[in-house]
Amino acid sequence: MDHGALVLIEIGALILGIGLLSRLASRLGISPIPLILLGGLAFGEGGLLPFTQGEEFIEIGAEIGVILLLLMLGLEYTARELVDNLRASKAAGLLDMLLNAVPGALLALVLGWGPVAAVAMAGITWISSSGVIAKILQDLGRLSNRETPIVLSILVIEDLAMAFYLPVLTALLLGMGLGAGTLSVILALAAVTLILYIALRHSRVVSRLVWSKDADVLLLSVLGLTLVVAGLAAGANVSSAVGAFLVGIAISGPAAKHAQRVLTPLRDLFAAVFFLFFGLSTDPRDLVPMLVPAVLLAVVTMATKVFTGYRASRRAGIAEAGRWRAGLALMPRGEFSIVIAGLAVAAGVDGALAALATAYVLITMIAGPLLARIPDSRRFQRWAGRRQAARRARQAPAVTAPPE
Cβ atoms of 126 and 104 closer than 8 Å = yes
Nearest in space to 102 (alpha carbons), one of 80, 115, 118: 118
Query: Is the confidence at residue 81, as pLDDT, over 80?
Result: no
Query: What's the number of CA atoms in the CB half-sphere (13 Å) around residue 224?
Result: 10
Neighbours of 221 (CB within 10 A): 18
Q: How many whole angstroms separate alpha carbon 226 and alpha carbon 247?
A: 6
pLDDT in tens, 337-377: 877 887 787 777 877 888 898 889 889 988 988 899 999 88
Listed by start position, the domains of the chain span: 70-270+287-375
* Higher-pLDDT residue of 381, 49: 381
Q: CATH for 70-270+287-375?
A: 1.20.1530.20
CA 30 → CA 7, 25, 122, 266, 369, distances in Å?
31, 5, 31, 21, 8
What's at 148, amino acid-wise? T
Query: Is the confidence at residue 399, as pLDDT, over 60?
Result: no
Report pLDDT for 101: 95
Q: Residue 50 — φ and ψ, nearest 5°?
A: -60, 140
Q: How many whole angstroms separate alpha carbon 162 and alpha carbon 120?
A: 12
Report the alpha-carbon angle 398-401-404, nearest 5: 160
**Confidence label for 238 from pLDDT (cuts 50, 70 and 90):** low
Report pLDDT for 402: 55
Q: How many whole angstroms separate alpha carbon 10 and alpha carbon 198?
A: 42
Query: Is the confidence at residue 383, as pLDDT, over 60?
Result: yes
pLDDT in tens, 96-123: 999 999 999 999 999 998 898 999 999 9
Cβ atoms of 327 and 306 closer than 8 Å = yes
Q: How many whole angstroms separate alpha carbon 20 and alpha carbon 38?
A: 13
* Higher-pLDDT residue of 173, 142: 142
- Give DSSP secondary structure letters for 299-363: HHHHHHHHHHHHHHHHHTT--HHHHHHHHHHT----HHHHHHHHHHHHTT--THHHHHHHHHHHH
